[in-house]
Structure 1
Amino acid sequence: MNTSRTTTEQKASTPRTSRALARERTLDRIVELGNAQLAECGAAELSVREIARGLGMVSSAIYRYVSCREELLTLLIVDAYGDLADTVDEELEQAGRDPRTRFLALARAMAAWAIAHPERWTLLYGTPVSDYDAPAEATNADGTRVMATVLAIAADAAEPAGGRPVVQVTPEVQSLLETHLAEFAVQADAVVALRAVTAWSSLVGVISAHVFGQLGADAVAVGEQILDSQVEMLADLVIGS
């Protein structure tokens, strides 16, 4: 589990008191209970009071840790993004350096995580929770880790365009893509970034279609075969073949 409440650098440089360690353990337990509740009844039914009962606390005591349902949702979203990104990173450690192989490993790790944790995938990429907006300052760091990796893979695969058709990118889109490339410290041109973003958004879509059964009952029996074929096509897009 990865709640990402503090960075590794902060943990290393700041000695933690016994009170801080106890608080961290309690927050970890809150996330654990929250994920269990999420799996049982979905995001719409999350209850801070129920988590207080699971901790053996009076309901007023838990608000020292989680002030409201929205804060609980944010903790669970950060935890899910971090766990997904860690799963992808672990898979990529064994994938070698070939960009296509790395993208396939990334995509299959994402799909396996989504299938194993459909309720957490839904929290990240399903229907937005009513009356809740995830705070970017809390969720962006872990929420963009896999996207940054896709950008890096696309950049590693990039070659001169040669005879390939040149995609027309408006100045506004180019500016946006260049901003994100700079943010993630990836050296690539806007067209490479656009391929990566397109592959990323398509990957989320095809995994969601599989997890949510959107291709219909007849496709369920061969769902993973369809997903594998779609991922292969997206790998072609990422590497520009």
Structure 2
Amino acid sequence: MRLIDAYADLASALDRAAGDAAQDGGARLTSVVGAYRDWALAEPHRYRLLFRAPLQGYDAQSTNLVEAAQPAMNVVLNVVSGLARPGTPVPQGTESQFQEWMRHHGVTHVSTEAASRTTLLWAHLHGLVSLEIEGNFTSMGIDPAPLYEAEVRECVGSL
């Protein structure tokens, strides 16, 4: 399996979970981030390939890989943009960085605030999933599912 195929499969799983745009935004987001975790748990080897450097000389920032990752991010951006309250602060010093990233990737359908919130959401949930698939919670005797669910509720509530 190619790395680009893994990105496409992840994007497809997230898109299916996003469902109907008329659905409640909080429920849509909960479904999407649940699908993210489910995909990672079902495909840990592919998840690792997407989010860590598997081989010496691997370049996660190569144009092909960055472009392949964008559809998955777009699904989450679309869902978060329907929830993010206007005036949500962008972390100080990052607004122009988000605007440049959005311009570079043709992200014109969401606000800078929504892009910032999406990135923070992804960072939080990615951290939990990464720790889970590496067995870090097992060594602590902690079930990670309730931790993930609590973080999802926190993130949805903060939008």
> What TM bracket, shorter-length normalisation?
0.7 to 0.9
The equivalences for 1:28-107 within 5 A come to: 31=1, 76-93=2-19, 96-107=22-33
TM-score normalised by L of structure 2: 0.83
Q: Which residue of 2 aligns with 1:49?
A: none
SS of the residue corresponding to residue 157 of structure 1 reads: coil
Gaps spanning 5+ residues in structure 1: where? 1-30, 32-75
SS of the residue corresponding to residue 59 of structure 2 reads: coil
Match of 2:120 among 186, 198, 202: 198
> How far has the Cα of 1:122 moved from its partner?
0.9
- Alignment length (residue pairs): 157
Counterpart CA distance in 1 for 2:53 and 2:141 is: 22
Contact 1:96/1:102 (<8 A) preserved? no
Q: Which residue of 2 aligns with 1:218?
A: 140
Contact 2:84/2:114 (<8 A) preserved? yes
The equivalences for 1:111-190 within 5 A come to: 111-134=37-60, 136-161=62-87, 166=89, 169-170=92-93, 173-182=94-103, 183-188=106-111, 190=112
What is the CA RMSD across the aligned residues, in angstroms? 2.3
Contact 2:41/2:133 (<8 A) preserved? yes
Q: Which has the higher contact order (CA 8 A, sep 6+)?
A: 2
SS of the residue corresponding to residue 13 of structure 2 reads: helix
Give me the identity figure in percent. Answer: 24
> How far has the Cα of 1:79 moved from its partner?
0.9
> How far has the Cα of 1:155 moved from its partner?
1.9
Contact 2:11/2:75 (<8 A) preserved? no
